[in-house]
Amino acid sequence: MSEDSKAPVSLMSELIRFAKAAEDGDVSFIFDDGGLSGEDAKAVQLLKSALAKYRAVFEDEIMDYKLTSEAMKIALWDMEVVADDPVNPNNKFNWTPEFRHMLGFSSEKEFPNVLNSWINRLHPEDKEEAINAFAAHLNDYTGNTPYEIEYRLMNKNGEYRYYDGFGTSLRNSEGVPQKVYGAIRDITERRRIQEQLVSNDLRLNLLLKSLNVALWDMAVDPSNLIVGDNEFWWSQELRHMLGFTDENDFPNVLSSWSDRLHPKDRDRTLNAFAAHIIDHTGKTPYDLEYRLKLKNGKYRYFHAFGETLRDSAGVPLRVAGALKDIDEQIAMREEIRRTSLKLEEALEQANAASKAKGDFLSTMSHEMRTPMNAIIGMTAIGKRADSIEEKNHALNKIGDASSHLLGVINDVLDMAKIEADKLELSPIEFNFERMLQKVLTVINFRADEKQQSLTLNIDNDIPRFVVGDDQRLAQTITNLLSNAIKFTPERGKIMLEASLGGESDGICELCFKVSDSGIGISPEQQEKLFSAFEQAENGTSREYGGTGLGLVISKRIVELMGGMICVESELGKGATFTFSVKVQRGAGSLGSPSTADDYGDFKDSADYLDEPKGNDGDDKPAHGEFADKRMLLAEDIEINRDILMAILKDTEIIIDCAENGKDALDMVEAAPDVYDVVLMDVQMPKMDGLEASRRIRALTTRKRGRLPIIAMTANVFKDDIEACFVAGMDDHLGKPLDIDMVLEKLRKHL
């Protein structure tokens, strides 16, 4: 076709030609506006301006999208600060699994919890600046120097990637950092996008096609600005975006769009469109987000904006704009919002937990230092005392303080087991009556000191012998009774009730109730009762003492025994704790049901305690009891050897001492039939007790029977005790040594 016969140029023909070129991916398209004039020429220019503006807006939006996407990929870390050396390469770090995975590592062995793991992977060009920024933050005791820096880290595969590192420090009252919490996020992709946006001049058609942006325009009728049959031009991209195919199912009228607006967005959107058009100053923008219903009936979020072509008086002539599907972006915003809320909640919980642990450490310091102060003070008093009475008084106080300190230590160890999920039960068959007798033997004198009435009611249906962990059950009952005595004023009333809740296939449910007439507990305080590191209120430890761990430990014990624990209380009206446990009926009770004579109808525990106790009271060594026996004591601490020899002096047992496992092995090997028993410490220099026991068991020169080996160790966890037996030991004594238990074990094996 010749130039003279070419179809005349019009605005509509150019728009159709442009839409087809965009659909075909023709990036070489150029508007032929030479034949256009007047309003059509201005419309084309307006369209170019609108699309150029969109491009600039889109580049900002794509950057926001990438930034928010990367912001969700955060890996955390924290560090304990070493005094005077905050950037010591061996500082203890906690790199989270997400942190390691981000760098391509899978375990602590590959990426140890030390500062050097991070430092050694810094890019040489970034290392000095990154370390200096970290040190500057820590060393600024005012806390005004933030820690946020970008640097490169080498992944496990040798690739360097960019990361944004940031953090904050917990400081004491003087500003000295105690602990640092931080995070990194991989920003490699963000930087790549930034560089690409700067270096690449994206062509308009490719931008529209790749980013799913659709165009539209409308001729304005000044007499009827916004009515349903206003003529619109909807691009094919816009129709496809909404699920339609052509003009037949999505006509070129305003109502094709307005009728699909979400009911909650319709008025707002139409009003914004009208406000933009009728503002002859052109200062009211058209730029908003709304929901449109697709052909399939689903709603999606879209971002719309446009510009209006006006005459010299500001009267609107034509409106052109674009529509972008932002449903995924909106979903991401909502996810970020929810994540931010969760992070804020987690931060609040972490701060609360940190404060609770801080308060707990303060309480623990008090609870440990108080008896230690008594021990040290009374030791000094006892040394200066002239009379036996004064020395005995000091020794009694030392004994009381030592018992209290041991109780605190036991609570801390139990709490450590709970935190590590290592608290386990050791079920045995035991006499239920005898277990309660031991508890009340310990508890009753405390009640007597405050002139309190302690009443015991026991259900006669409870089997006399049951199988369970008697020590943990006794510990729970003791904790509850101790609290009742502590928080009940003088001459108050306390009651312990035990009943049989039911029995099925030999499994008995034992129910316990401990009630008192004490100060009571508010509903707010009850919510914290069974929480780790918290007491009912902060002032409780100051006024009444205690670590606040007893109920937490009791709750875990009860749960391990298949039961549950709860409390009912009002301020000023006392408290009632109830709990249940499941035990097995013991063989000793088969065919021998309990009777009233087994337990008695006791109204006060003092009557109960008058019954014979066997060897449950203080046991004293009989003079010359082991006169014909010889013992090997393997213990590396001199004072521990002195204590044990003093305890056993009256028994006249002959004691030979070894200061380590190697000496003990040599002494047994040299005289294999001389010794009747070995008391073996576990942790000793040169050779520990476990190895010494294994080698003694390997000896074949002893002609007498098996040589009993009794372990002595402060390691009283189940795994530690089992390790002793695996090594060939016959029994176990936990430190600090209990005199009665030492004698009991010696009598058993001698």
3-class secondary structure per residue, 370-412: HHHHHHHHHHHHHHHCCCHHHHHHHHHHHHHHHHHHHHHHHHH
- The predicted-structure confidence for 177-190, as pLDDT tens digits, reads as follows 888 988 898 999 88
Q: Could you give the 3-state DSSP secondary structure of residue 602?
A: coil
CA atoms within 13 A on the CB side of 739: 15
Structure tokens at 700: 């074949």
Distances (CA, A) of 743 to 68, 399, 649, 735: 70, 19, 12, 14
DSSP one-letter code for 274:
H
- pLDDT for the residue 656: 96
Task: Provide the residue ranges of all domains of the chain, joining segments of one domain with +.
Answer: 11-63+212-325, 73-193, 330-419, 428-609, 630-749
Quote the pLDDT of residue 661. Answer: 94
- d(CA 526, CA 567) in angstroms, rounded, equals 8
Residue 600 — pLDDT band, cuts 50, 70, 90?
very low
- CA–CA separation, 551 and 530 (whole Å): 6
Class of domain 428-609: alpha beta
- Strand (E) or helix (H) holding 297: none
The pTM for the full model equals 0.42
Residue 651: pLDDT band by 50, 70, 90 thresholds?
very high
Higher pLDDT, 747 or 350: 747
What's the whole-number mean pLDDT along residues 362-380? 70
Mean pLDDT taken over the chain = 81
- Lowest-pLDDT range of 121-130, 284-293, 559-568, 636-645: 636-645
Please give the class, per CATH, of domain 73-193.
alpha beta
pLDDT digits (tens, 9 = 90+) for 661-674: 999 999 999 999 99
User: What's the rounded Cα separation, in Å, for the pair 70 and 357?
Assistant: 33
Q: Measure Cα distances from 4 to 1, 8, 32, 143, 286 in Å.
A: 8, 9, 15, 78, 42
* Winning range, highest mean pLDDT, from 4-18, 344-358, 675-689: 675-689
DSSP states along 323-389: EEE-HHHHHHHHHHHHHHHHHHHHHHHHHHHHHHHHHHHHHHHHHHHHHHHHHHHHHHHHHH--SHH
Cα–Cα distance measured from residue 679 to residue 668, given in angstroms and rounded to the nearest whole number: 12
Per-residue pLDDT of 76-121, as tens digits, reads 898 888 766 666 766 788 998 889 999 999 999 999 998 889 999 9
Name the residue among 595, 614, 575 with its Cα closest to residue 458: 595
Of 185 and 707, more confident: 707
First to last CA, the chain: 122
What confidence score (pLDDT) does residue 296 get? 95
Mention every residue, 6+ apart, whose C-beta is less than 8 A from residue 363.
535, 541, 546, 547, 548
Look at residue 37 and tell me whether its pLDDT is greater than 80.
no
DSSP lists the bridge partners of residue 162 as 152
Concatenated DSSP letters of 500-524? EEEEETTEEEEEEEEEE-SS---HH
Best CA proximity match to 52, nearest among 215, 268, 187, 261: 215
Percent of all residues in the chain with a pLDDT value above 70, rounded to a whole number? 77
Residue 649 has pLDDT above 70, yes or no: yes
Q: Which of 176-190, 418-432, 459-473 has the lowest mean pLDDT?
A: 418-432
Work out the pLDDT band at 396, boundaries 50, 70, 90. confident
Residue 287 has pLDDT above 50, yes or no: yes
Cβ-contact 693, 680 below 8 angstroms = yes
| CATH among 1.10.10.10, 3.40.50.880, 1.10.1060.10, 1.10.287.130 for 330-419 | 1.10.287.130
pLDDT band at residue 617 using 50, 70 and 90 as cut-offs: very low
pLDDT at 589 over 60: no
Distance CA 663, CA 614 (A): 39
Read off the pLDDT band of 511 (50, 70, 90).
very high
Output the pLDDT for position 582.
95
Please say if the pLDDT value at position 450 is more than 60.
yes
Range with top average pLDDT, 192-206, 502-516, 545-559 = 502-516
| CATH architecture of the domain formed by 11-63+212-325 | 2-Layer Sandwich (3.30)
Q: pLDDT exceeding 90 applies to what percent of the chain?
A: 37
Three-class secondary structure of residue 529 per DSSP: coil
State which of 39-48, 340-349, 457-466 shows the largest mean pLDDT. Answer: 457-466
How many residues appear in the chain?
Answer: 750
- Mean pLDDT, residues 546-557: 79
Find the mean pLDDT for residues 273-296. 92
Which amino acid is it at 633?
L
Would the pLDDT of 248 be above 80?
Answer: yes
CA-wise closest residue to 315 among 270, 273, 281, 287:
281
Q: In which band, very low, low, confident or very high, does the pLDDT at 32 lie, cut at 50, 70 and 90?
A: low
Six token digits for residue 69: 């996407």
Is the fold of 11-63+212-325 the same as that of 73-193?
Answer: yes
Q: pLDDT by residue (tens digit) across 190-245?
A: 888 877 765 554 455 455 566 677 888 888 876 676 666 677 889 888 999 999 99
- Which of 61-75, 353-367, 371-385 has the highest mean predicted lDDT (pLDDT)? 371-385
Residues paired with residue 304 on neighbouring β-strands, in sequence order:
288, 323
SS3 723: helix
598, pLDDT greater than 90: no
Q: What's the CA gap between 702 and 671, in Å, rounded? A: 8
pLDDT digits (tens, 9 = 90+) for 727-739: 999 999 987 788 8
- pLDDT-wise least confident of 88-102, 194-208, 381-395, 694-708: 194-208
Q: What number is the average pLDDT over the span 510-530?
A: 89
Strand partners, 180: 79, 169
The residue type found at 444 is: N
Domain 630-749 architecture: 3-Layer(aba) Sandwich (3.40)
What are the angstrom distances between the C-alpha of 160 and each of 75, 98, 103, 114?
17, 18, 10, 20
d(CA 111, CA 99): 10
Q: Which two tokens stand for residue 405?
A: 């300190």
Give the Cα separation of 405 and 371 in Å (integer).
Answer: 6
Mean pLDDT computed over 561-577: 93
Alpha-carbon span 269 to 488, nearest angstrom: 68
Q: How far apart are CA 131 and CA 729, in angstroms?
A: 53
Out of 75-79, 351-355, 370-374, 654-658, give the one with best mean pLDDT.
654-658
Q: Which of 84-88, 119-123, 303-307, 486-490 has the lowest mean pLDDT?
A: 84-88
Instruction: Find the mean pLDDT for residues 640-666.
Output: 91
More confident residue, 746 or 529: 746
Query: In Å, what is the CA distance from 215 to each residue of 307, 422, 499?
Result: 12, 65, 80
CA–CA dist 707, 726 (Å, integer): 16
pLDDT score, position 605: 37
